[in-house]
């Protein structure tokens, strides 16, 4: 279904992103897909060679960017290869989430060293959790073969070429891509209106929605969308602020869990 030009224009004006047109769209999309695929392969190999905080971060970023582009393309082509590839990549991303969380907590705990006595003990607790989680993540990381993914990405590329060669294909593809960006922005607007100070879940939902919108814009920038440097910089800054809120919420949850475990140990000792 084609997009209403006025609605699309309204969304682009609100978001600060303008669509420049469809010239060179196919070449840009294929180049973007190849670039993100090569980046993912390179970072995956590095992470398989040695799991570290920086390696996990780089792999998560490369996964999200590749997933985002495949999701956008999935709305423009009929082949289900993009969906299958996304499911494989998302499964790997979920495997890395607990490791990323403990890395965030460890970094935050460093801020408290020397400020309260329990910081050293909590840091040791996190170190033990990290060791367990890294061992848990290493197996799926090492088993993450790229053969099937490579075939699915290749199928997606061929499906995109077929769609662009059909009569009216470029315009339909362009409309579908703009529709994906529009839907992502509207989801951000919805989550913004649902935001409440009392609910950390509402901040988390806004962060996820905004991240998807930002990645969608980046995936089509600058060949298809036209977002200036100032807009992109403000988007990154806003994303970082939401991330800081999420990290602090994660820290509070961890501290509450540790306090609860301490209380249980005290009760146990009292009954000995």
Tally the C-alpha atoms within 13 A of residue 265's C-alpha that lie toward its C-beta: 6
pLDDT at 264: 53
pLDDT at 127: 80
Q: What are phi and psi of 145, to 5 degrees?
A: -75, 150
Torsion, Cα of 216, 201, 249, 261 (10° steps): -130
Which whole number is the average pLDDT over 198-226?
90
Rounded to whole angstroms, the Cα distance separating 10 from 94 reads 35
Which whole number is the average pLDDT over 121-140?
79
pLDDT at 254: 82
The overall average pLDDT reported for the chain is 82
Torsion, Cα of 123, 127, 133, 139 (10° steps): 160
On the question of pLDDT at 78 being above 70, the answer is yes
Asked which of 140-144, 153-157, 163-167, 204-208 is least confident by mean pLDDT, the reply is 140-144
Residues 17/217, Cβ–Cβ less than 8 Å: yes
Rounded to whole angstroms, the Cα distance separating 63 from 94 reads 11
Asked which of 13-27, 109-123, 137-151, 166-180 is least confident by mean pLDDT, the reply is 13-27
On the question of pLDDT at 159 being above 80, the answer is yes
CA–CA–CA angle 256, 262, 263 (5° rounding): 90
Q: For the stretch 240-261, what's the b/e string if a residue is b when 16 or more beta carbons lie within 10 angstroms of its beta carbon? A: eebeeebeeebbeebbeeeeee
On the question of pLDDT at 268 being above 50, the answer is no
């Amino acid at each position: 279904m084609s997009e209403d030009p006025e609605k699309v224009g309204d969304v682009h004006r609100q978001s600060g992103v303008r669509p420049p047109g469809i010239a060179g769209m196919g070449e840009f999309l294929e180049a973007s897909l190849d670039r993100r695929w090569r980046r993912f392969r390179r970072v995956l190999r590095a992470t398989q060679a040695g799991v570290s905080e920086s390696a996990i971060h780089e792999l998560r970023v490369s996964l999200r960017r590749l997933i985002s582009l495949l999701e956008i393309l999935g709305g423009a082509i009929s082949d289900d290869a993009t969906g299958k590839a996304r499911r494989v990549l998302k499964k790997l991303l979920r495997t890395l989430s607990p490791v990323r969380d403990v890395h965030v907590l460890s970094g935050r705990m460093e801020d408290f060293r020397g400020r309260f006595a329990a910081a050293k003990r909590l840091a040791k607790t996190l170190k033990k959790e990290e060791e367990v989680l890294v061992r848990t993540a290493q197996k799926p990381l090492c088993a993450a073969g790229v053969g099937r993914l490579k075939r699915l990405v290749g199928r997606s590329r061929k499906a995109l070429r077929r769609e662009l060669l059909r009569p009216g294909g470029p315009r339909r593809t362009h409309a579908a891509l703009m529709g994906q960006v529009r839907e992502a922005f509207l989801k951000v607007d919805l989550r913004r209106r649902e935001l409440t100070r009392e609910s950390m879940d509402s901040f988390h939902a806004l962060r996820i929605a905004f991240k998807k919108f930002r990645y969608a814009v980046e995936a089509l920038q600058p060949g298809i969308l036209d977002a200036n440097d100032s807009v992109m910089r403000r988007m990154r800054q806003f994303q970082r602020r939401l991330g800081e809120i999420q990290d602090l919420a994660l820290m509070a949850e961890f501290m509450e869990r540790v306090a609860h475990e301490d209380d249980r140990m005290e009760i146990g000792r009292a009954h000995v």
